[in-house]
């Protein structure tokens, strides 16, 4: 096997002695051959199983021939919109165009289209009408059935239909992709590959579909928000590979989209194999002249130790994409990857991160998940840790210790999010102590997200008292260690359930903390999360309870400004918010006040009053000129 990047030109293909490729992989990102990038994993999996893959990265979608570099592939086209949903990549939560794209050479914006998966799919279909088209990645995965699209403010169809694709591979698709490639290679027409777990397909007939749950049809979901919430919750309850049912969504009388149950999690040996492929571990050298690809900086010297998350935050799409069952790599696999870093001339002795979606999850939540999967109607950590939850950090601790002992490693940081409620549920605080002693660089980023319990409830996060317990434990251990280290809390404004009252409470908390965050994350309604469903429908899909949702842009701006109340640019918004919330007691000179009255405003009012008095005197003199002396 050649140790090199996969072909991006015909010349590259010929150097390998190929006169064709089995798959052409069209991707919305720059070509980065690193296991933190989905297309790198899928393409290397295919290569390891004997398939030839050519890469077309960020084709010019305005040119019909931009996807014809390799001609027609033997088995089909693969499409991935990128490591992020293309709309999240392009736009801020206020729907303003972003200025840079970390997944593009030189950080240049505009090298991929909006709704990239759809645009690429239609481009390919126009030019290769009978070639199989398989879509995947985060954009396709979270848009696999009818979904609310924040940017167009409407319920859109399954991306499978709009992209004119044949099959959609959702979730972490290594196993499904290899099985699909083998099916196509054996001569099975793509329209007949309807049986693979972790895939979605379209059909005009349901006579061969069995053991399925019918979702409300698209027209009903689009027309009625309550029906949308009901449909979404059925989908949410069927995201587990052990208990999930096949789902059918109809589009008229003769078109159906069928979602097969999720693929089973990879075993540890299978996961180890995925990360042992011969990655180049950097971006393609053709990007060097443009300054490289910024996104590699965050991951080049980081180690992925797990995937999946049983945290269950309502604003996170992991339930729909990676699932709730944690899969972890072996220590040997991770240590081998770390040893490869030591030979990199740019490595300075610092491993930037060892983690995944949640760093301190290294095993399934409980033993029964191995047989029955995750509970469809119950969370592992919310509102309280489940009595069956397995709570221990020993395996993660041992991994970190082994990494610290590698020759040439100066420091191993933990920068992935840790679940502080899981830490506090552990009666043994050895992990927290070693974290503070060895793995924090002055600041530890954590995600309480809010401090008002009504909002935390809608987020699926623990009560504020749990975070406060963690803060005290963190401060106590650092004092004992003689270290000056601080917590940097991630906070979110305008999440469903947050009124101005809760936003003011958050501002008061920051006042007492003496901290103003440099950046504020306004809630972003991305596809296929419970929070996005609440945002669109005003209902909690689990209970159908009404939920207050701040959707007005001006109110959202006020909630965001309250978190940064010290910024002079936010004064008017903060003052307005405090008046609307009935909290004018926080406008004044007391140390508990958030803002002071504007002195110049009082002077302006005084001048206005004096001008009014002058005008009145002038009128009086004009009306009674005889009284003039």
Three-state secondary structure string covering 83-150 = CCCHHHHHECCCCCECCCCCCCHHHCCCCCCCCHHHHHHHHHHHHCCCCCEEEEHHHHHHCCCCEEEC
Peptide bond preceding 383 in cis form (omega within 30 of 0): yes
Last residue of a domain, one of 199, 217, 245: 199
User: Average pLDDT, whole number, for the chain?
Assistant: 94
Contacts of 151 (CB under 8 A, 6+ apart): 87, 91, 95, 114
Q: What are the angstrom distances between the C-alpha of 441 and each of 54, 245, 348, 473, 488?
A: 41, 45, 15, 18, 12
Q: Are 240 and 197 in contact (CB under 8 A)?
A: no
In this structure, is residue 245 part of a structural domain? no
**pLDDT over 70 (residue 615):** no
Q: Are 137 and 38 in contact (CB under 8 A)?
A: yes
pLDDT bin (cut points 50, 70, 90) of residue 457 is very high
**pLDDT over 60 (residue 600):** no
The whole domain housing 64 covers: 10-199
pLDDT bin (cut points 50, 70, 90) of residue 163 is very high
What does the alpha-carbon distance between residue 416 and residue 452 come to, in Å, rounded to a whole number?
Answer: 24
Same domain, 65 and 140: yes
Contacts of 317 (CB under 8 A, 6+ apart): 138, 142, 526, 527, 528, 529
Q: Model confidence over 470-511: pLDDT tens digits?
A: 999 999 999 999 999 999 999 999 999 999 999 999 999 999
Pair type for strands 302-304 and 353-355: parallel
Torsion of CA 312, 317, 323, 325, to 10 degrees: -30
In this structure, is residue 486 part of a structural domain? yes
Find the farthest-apart pair of alpha carbons in the chain and give their distance in angstroms, rounded. 112
Matching residue, tokens 């050479």 = 105
The pTM for the full model equals 0.93
Please, how many CA atoms are within 13 Å of residue 454, restricted to the half-sphere of its CB?
A: 14
pLDDT bin (cut points 50, 70, 90) of residue 609 is low
pLDDT bin (cut points 50, 70, 90) of residue 627 is very low
Taking residues 529-543, report their average pLDDT.
Answer: 97
Q: What is the pLDDT of residue 116?
A: 98
pLDDT bin (cut points 50, 70, 90) of residue 629 is very low
Taking residues 7-35, report their average pLDDT.
Answer: 97
Q: What are the angstrom distances between the C-alpha of 450 and each of 314, 458, 506, 548, 583?
A: 13, 11, 7, 16, 19
Q: What is the pLDDT of residue 605?
A: 60
pLDDT bin (cut points 50, 70, 90) of residue 599 is confident
pLDDT bin (cut points 50, 70, 90) of residue 628 is very low
At 575 the three-state DSSP class reads helix
Matching residue, tokens 């803002």 = 595
Q: What CATH number does the domain containing 78 carry?
A: 3.40.50.280
In this structure, is residue 122 part of a structural domain? yes
Q: Model confidence over 419-445: pLDDT tens digits?
A: 999 999 999 999 999 999 999 988 999
Nearest to 261 by CA among 247, 277, 251, 282: 247
Same domain, 431 and 447: no
Q: What is the pLDDT of residue 202?
A: 97
**pLDDT over 70 (residue 585):** yes
More confident residue, 298 or 223: 223
What does the alpha-carbon distance between residue 76 and residue 421 come to, in Å, rounded to a whole number?
Answer: 46
Taking residues 554-578, report their average pLDDT.
Answer: 95
In this structure, is residue 240 part of a structural domain? no
Q: What are the angstrom distances between the C-alpha of 181 and each of 41, 72, 78?
A: 15, 16, 11
Contacts of 600 (CB under 8 A, 6+ apart): none
In this structure, is residue 82 part of a structural domain? yes
Last residue of a domain, one of 436, 463, 490: 436
Exposed, middle or buried, 212 (CB in 10 Å: 0-12/13-18/19+)?
middle
Taking residues 456-469, report their average pLDDT.
Answer: 96
Same domain, 28 and 163: yes
Same domain, 23 and 56: yes
What does the alpha-carbon distance between residue 271 and residue 265 come to, in Å, rounded to a whole number?
Answer: 9
Same domain, 452 and 380: no
Q: What is the pLDDT of residue 536?
A: 98
Q: What are the angstrom distances between the C-alpha of 39 and each of 31, 125, 197, 517?
A: 8, 21, 20, 34
What does the alpha-carbon distance between residue 42 and residue 124 come to, in Å, rounded to a whole number?
Answer: 20
Same domain, 496 and 566: yes
Domains identified in the chain, total number: 3
In this structure, is residue 184 part of a structural domain? yes
Q: What CATH number does the domain containing 585 carry?
A: 3.30.750.200
Tell me what percent of the residues of the chain surpass a pLDDT of 70.
95
Same domain, 420 and 451: no
Reading the block at residue 551, the tokens are 């959707």
Same domain, 16 and 58: yes
Same domain, 575 and 467: yes
Matching residue, tokens 């099916």 = 183
Same domain, 335 and 365: yes
* Neighbour order of strands in the sheet with 76-80: 53-57, 23-27, 76-80, 133-136, 167-169, 199-203, 256-259, 246-250, 212-214
Q: Which residues of 448-457 are buried (b: 16+ CB within 10 A; e: fewer)?
A: bbbbbbebbb
In this structure, is residue 246 part of a structural domain? no
Helix ranges restricted to H, 241-386 = 268-275, 296-299, 318-321, 331-342, 369-372
β-strand partners of 474 = none
Same domain, 338 and 423: yes
Count, in order, helices (H) and strands (E) of the chain.
24, 20
Nearest to 374 by CA among 196, 236, 528: 236
Tell me what percent of the residues of the chain surpass a pLDDT of 90.
90
Q: Model confidence over 336-389: pLDDT tens digits?
A: 999 999 999 999 999 999 999 999 999 999 999 999 999 988 999 999 999 999
Q: What CATH number does the domain containing 346 carry?
A: 3.30.750.210
Q: Model confidence over 304-320: pLDDT tens digits?
A: 999 999 999 999 998 89
What does the alpha-carbon distance between residue 586 and residue 579 come to, in Å, rounded to a whole number?
Answer: 9
Reading the block at residue 608, the tokens are 């206005």
In this structure, is residue 233 part of a structural domain? no
Q: What is the pLDDT of residue 217?
A: 97
Q: What is the pLDDT of residue 520?
A: 80
CB atoms within 10 A of CB 47: 17
pLDDT bin (cut points 50, 70, 90) of residue 611 is confident
Q: Model confidence over 261-277: pLDDT tens digits?
A: 999 999 999 999 999 99
Nearest to 49 by CA among 136, 178, 196, 187: 178
Q: What is the pLDDT of residue 626?
A: 47
Same domain, 138 and 33: yes
Last residue of a domain, one of 436, 463, 495: 436
Q: Model confidence over 203-245: pLDDT tens digits?
A: 999 999 999 999 999 999 999 999 999 999 999 999 999 999 9
pLDDT bin (cut points 50, 70, 90) of residue 516 is confident
**pLDDT over 80 (residue 571):** yes
Taking residues 541-562, report their average pLDDT.
Answer: 96
β-strand partners of 327 = 307
Q: What is the pLDDT of residue 607?
A: 66
């Amino acid at each position: 096997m050649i140790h090199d990047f996969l072909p991006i030109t015909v010349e590259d293909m010929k150097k390998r002695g190929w006169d064709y490729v089995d798959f052409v992989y069209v991707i919305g990102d720059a070509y980065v051959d690193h296991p933190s990038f989905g297309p790198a994993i899928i393409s290397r999996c295919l290569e390891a199983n004997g398939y030839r893959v050519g890469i077309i990265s960020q084709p010019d979608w305005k040119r019909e021939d931009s996807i014809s570099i390799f001609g027609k592939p033997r088995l089909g086209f693969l499409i991935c919109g990128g490591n992020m949903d293309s709309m999240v990549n392009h736009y801020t939560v206020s729907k303003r165009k972003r200025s840079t794209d970390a997944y593009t050479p030189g950080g240049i914006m505009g090298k991929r289209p909006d709704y990239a998966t759809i645009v690429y799919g239609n481009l390919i279909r126009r030019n290769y009408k009978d070639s199989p088209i398989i879509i995947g990645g985060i954009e396709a995965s979270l848009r696999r059935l009818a979904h609310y699209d924040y940017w167009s403010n409407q319920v859109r169809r399954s991306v499978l239909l709009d992209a004119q694709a044949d099959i959609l591979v959702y979730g972490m698709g290594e196993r499904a992709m290899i099985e699909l490639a083998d099916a196509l290679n054996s001569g099975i027409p793509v329209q007949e590959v309807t049986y693979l777990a972790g895939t979605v397909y379209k059909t005009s007939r349901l006579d061969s579909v069995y053991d399925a749950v019918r979702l409300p049809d698209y027209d009903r979901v689009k027309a009625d928000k309550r029906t949308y919430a009901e449909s979404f919750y059925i989908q949410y309850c069927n995201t587990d590979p052990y208990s999930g049912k096949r789902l059918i969504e109809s589009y008229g009388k003769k078109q159906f989209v069928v979602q097969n149950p999720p693929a089973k999690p990879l075993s540890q040996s299978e996961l180890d194999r995925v990360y042992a492929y011969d990655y180049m571990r950097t971006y393609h050298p053709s990007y060097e002249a443009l300054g490289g690809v910024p996104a590699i900086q965050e991951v080049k010297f980081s180690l992925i130790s797990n995937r999946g998350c049983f945290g269950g935050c309502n604003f996170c799409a992991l339930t729909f994409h990676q699932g709730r069952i944690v899969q972890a790599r072996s220590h040997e696999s991770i240590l081998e990857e770390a040893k490869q870093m030591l030979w990199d001339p740019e490595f300075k002795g610092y491993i930037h991160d060892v983690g995944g979606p949640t760093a301190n999850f290294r095993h399934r939540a409980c033993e029964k998940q191995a047989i029955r999967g995750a509970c469809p109607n119950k969370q592992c950590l919310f509102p309280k840790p489940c009595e069956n939850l397995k709570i221990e950090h020993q395996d993660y601790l041992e991994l970190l210790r082994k990494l610290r002992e590698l020759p040439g490693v100066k420091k191993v940081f933990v920068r992935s999010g840790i679940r502080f409620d899981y830490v506090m549920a552990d009666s043994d605080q050895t992990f927290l102590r070693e974290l503070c002693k060895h793995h924090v660089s002055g600041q530890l980023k954590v995600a309480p997200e809010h401090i008002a319990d009504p909002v935390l409830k809608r987020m699926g996060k623990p009560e504020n008292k749990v975070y406060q317990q963690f803060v005290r434990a963190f401060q106590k251990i650092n004092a004992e260690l003689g270290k000056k280290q601080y917590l940097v809390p991630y906070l979110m404004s305008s999440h469903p359930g947050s009124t101005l009252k809760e936003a003011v409470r958050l501002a008061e908390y920051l006042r007492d903390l003496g901290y103003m965050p440099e950046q504020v994350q306004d809630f972003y309604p991305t596809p296929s999360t419970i929070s996005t469903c609440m945002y669109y429908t005003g209902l909690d899909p689990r209970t159908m309870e009404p939920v207050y949702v701040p959707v007005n842009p001006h109110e959202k701006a006020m909630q965001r400004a309250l978190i940064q109340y010290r910024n002079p640019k936010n004064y008017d918004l903060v003052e307005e918010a405090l008046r609307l919330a009935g909290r004018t007691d926080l406008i004044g000179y007391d140390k508990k006040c958030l803002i002071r009255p504007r002195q110049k405003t009082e002077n302006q009012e005084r001048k206005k009053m004096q001008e009014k008095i002058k005008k009145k005197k002038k009128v009086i003199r004009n009306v009674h000129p005889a009284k003039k002396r």
